[in-house]
Amino acid sequence: MQTAVLGSGSKGNSVYIEMEGVHMLVDAGIGVRRVMKSLKEIGVTPDMLSAVFLTHEHTDHIKGLGPLMRATQARVYTRPGTLSALPKKDELPDRLGVIHDTMKLGPLTVRAFSTLHDAADPVGYSFSAGQAKCTLATDLGFITSSVQAAIEGSDMLVLETNHDPGMLKRGSYPWPLKQRILGNRGHLANEDAAWALVHMRKRPEKIFLAHLSEENNRPELARETVERVLKEQGADSLSMDITVARQNDMDVWM
């Protein structure tokens, strides 16, 4: 099981996951050259990629999709609603598929779970094989009970810590944008991510805090908030390896 967050934040998102010899990407929001360069650094060549799963159609998750598809033979899977909402779909290679709730990919079970976010049909993904489970949950307006259930039991979790509400409210964003981010269909606050971790019965071995706002968050603040809330609630964070994923650099767990 390997994970590499190739880049995470409002300017572009893509996460590499390997399980049982299956190599995948979740989202294609960063340039193909950077994706290939990062993958090469961890020994992954374009021909090894078998699938790309898209969470939703916002630019920061799909803007590199066309070049990525042309540079690999990977099949692309997403919800039907997202597929319909993809821009310039006709120009993409004919390797687009649909995932409703679950599908098999070789030895893996892939599950798409709905999230509250202002897109056509947004999802997070979990990948499991036997007892092992990796989950990605970003672009969450709110942790619903089904998202909470979907992240449970993950060994590796990529979880959104988008903003600090105080920084956001004091910051320079226009009020409608502040409202969108703070709302139930926007992005997840640091503290809400921390509570999702508190509520897990089995906490992950590895967590990437992801999709941080460059304007309304700081990496240290995201980490401190998560660690503080876990401590206050008597939940042990010491057994968890926490990495705050960066926008412009790769963060690897293997």
Give the residue nearest to Zn ion (CB): 58
Site string for Zn ion, 92-131 (x = CB under 5 A): ----------------------------------------
- 185, amino acid identity: R
Cα separations (Å) of 47 from 7, 19, 111? 21, 16, 24
Query: Binders of Zn ion among 126-145, rule CB under 5 A?
Result: 139
- Minimum CB separation from Zn ion for residue 204, in Å? 21
Size of interface with Zn ion, in residues (CB under 5 A): 3
- Minimum CB separation from Zn ion for residue 55, in Å? 8
Query: Binders of Zn ion among 209-248, rule CB under 5 A?
Result: none
- Locate the DSSP E strands across the chain: 2-7, 14-19, 22-26, 49-53, 75-78, 96-98, 102-105, 108-114, 123-129, 132-137, 156-160, 206-210, 241-244, 251-253
Between CA 67 and CA 138 the distance in angstroms is 23
Query: Binders of Zn ion among 22-61, rule CB under 5 A?
Result: 58, 60
Q: With CA atoms as reference, report the closest residue to 118 among 168, 81, 89.
A: 81
- Minimum CB separation from Zn ion for residue 17, in Å? 18
Nearer to Zn ion, 27 or 152 (CB): 27
- Minimum CB separation from Zn ion for residue 232, in Å? 29
- Minimum CB separation from Zn ion for residue 57, in Å? 8
Nearer to Zn ion, 139 or 251 (CB): 139
Burial 126-145 (b: 16+ CB within 10 A, else e): bbbbeeebbbbbbbbbbbee
Nearer to Zn ion, 139 or 164 (CB): 139
Half-sphere exposure of 130 (CA within 13 A, CB side): 4
Would you state the structure tokens that stand for residue 31, as one six-digit string? 């340039």
Between CA 171 and CA 196 the distance in angstroms is 26
Phi, psi dihedrals of residue 162, rounded to the nearest 5° = -75, -45
Our finding on whether 178 is near Zn ion (CB under 5 A) is no
- Minimum CB separation from Zn ion for residue 199, in Å? 23
Which positions touch Zn ion (CB under 5 A)?
A: 58, 60, 139
